[in-house]
């Protein structure tokens, strides 16, 4: 039978500690002898990394919000067509550091592109949807304080980041089966336990 990887995405506010959660999850799944592939968005392909540089470069002040949306979608489509589709038959688990919920929250809610972002996501995710998504929720100000050398998106005003959190929480309400909200202000052990518990319950 053809293998079909379980697709997990990790979403979060700025400075919410996604990287350490991904490292933990990777280690946990590898200990259980699963094959695991990790990607990040935008990026993880040669073209996607170039797009990422355009998107995050603080010098690109004139980048319009519609162009921003299109670039995030373009990076994602490249990742799906170049890597993800192929990898679904090669790995047990694929973990992606951000995916389309970020577009819905950042461009859809926080930048106000609403339905255009929704339509774009639908068209250019090419039918790929995560089985489970962890949203790492933190206090906006606490997360932002953790950042050094803020990029173009991180440098946006507090009001943007507050809207962003509201956007993610609305998505979690809309898709309660898929999106698990994790209180990322607690201890690492507590965060890891919640994530591990959800994975075990759903997939083992």
Cα-trace Rg, the chain: 16
77 binds ligand TMP (CB under 6 A): no
Q: Within 2-41, which residues bind ligand TMP (CB under 6 A)?
A: 14, 40-41
What are the start-end ranges of the H helices in the chain? 18-31, 46-56, 65-79, 85-87, 100-102, 114-124, 140-145, 158-174, 188-203
Closest CA to 70 of 115, 107, 114: 107
Could you tell me the smallest distance in angstroms from the CB atom of residue 107 to ligand TMP?
Answer: 6
Give the one residue of 44, 77, 102, 133 binding ligand TMP; rule: CB under 6 A: 102
192 alpha-carbon distance from chain centroid? 17
Closest CA to 164 of 91, 89, 110: 110
Q: Tell me whether residue 24 or residue 34 sits nearer to ligand TMP (CB atom).
A: 24
Q: Tell me whether residue 11 or residue 87 sits nearer to ligand TMP (CB atom).
A: 11
Could you tell me the smallest distance in angstroms from the CB atom of residue 158 to ligand TMP?
Answer: 14
Among the residue ranges 83-91, 99-107, 168-176, 181-189, the one whose residues contact ligand TMP (CB under 6 A): 99-107
Q: Tell me whether residue 87 or residue 97 sits nearer to ligand TMP (CB atom).
A: 97
Among the residue ranges 23-31, 94-102, 131-139, 196-204, the one whose residues contact ligand TMP (CB under 6 A): 94-102
106 binds ligand TMP (CB under 6 A): yes
Using Cβ positions, the residue closest to ligand TMP within the complex turns out to be 106
Could you tell me the smallest distance in angstroms from the CB atom of residue 76 to ligand TMP?
Answer: 7
Mapped onto helix, strand or coil, the DSSP state of residue 176 is: coil
Q: Which neighbouring-strand residues pair with 94?
A: 7, 37
What whole-number distance in Å separates Cα of residue 20 and Cα of residue 49? 21
Contacts with ligand TMP, 151-190, as mask; x by CB under 6 A: --xx------------------------------------
Q: Starting at the edge strand that comes first in sequence, how are the strands of the sheet with 93-97 ordered?
A: 36-40, 93-97, 6-12, 132-137, 179-183
**DSSP strand pairing (132-137 vs 6-12):** parallel
Could you tell me the smallest distance in angstroms from the CB atom of residue 190 to ligand TMP?
Answer: 22
Interface ranges with ligand TMP (CB under 6 A): 14, 40-42, 72, 97-98, 102-103, 106-107, 153-154
């Amino acid at each position: 039978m053809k293998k079909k990887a379980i697709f997990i995405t990790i979403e979060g506010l700025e400075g919410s500690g996604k990287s350490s959660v991904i490292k933990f999850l990777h280690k946990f799944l590898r200990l259980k002898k699963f094959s695991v592939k990790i990607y990040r968005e935008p990026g993880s392909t040669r073209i996607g990394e170039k797009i990422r540089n355009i998107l995050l470069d603080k010098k690109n002040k004139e980048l319009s919000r519609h162009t921003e949306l299109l670039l995030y979608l373009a990076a994602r489509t490249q990742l799906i067509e170049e890597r993800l589709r192929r990898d679904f038959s090669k790995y047990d688990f694929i973990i992606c550091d951000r995916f389309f919920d970020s577009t819905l929250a950042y461009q859809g809610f926080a930048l106000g592109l609403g339905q255009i972002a929704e339509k774009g996501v639908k068209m250019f995710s090419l039918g790929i949807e995560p089985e489970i998504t962890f949203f790492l929720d933190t206090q906006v100000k606490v997360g932002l304080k953790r950042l050094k050398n803020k990029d173009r998106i991180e440098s946006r005003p507090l009001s943007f980041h507050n809207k962003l959190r509201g956007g993610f929480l609305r998505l979690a309400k809309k898709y309660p089966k898929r999106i698990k909200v994790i209180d990322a202000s607690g201890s690492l052990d507590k965060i890891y336990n919640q994530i591990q518990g959800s994975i075990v319950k759903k997939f083992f």
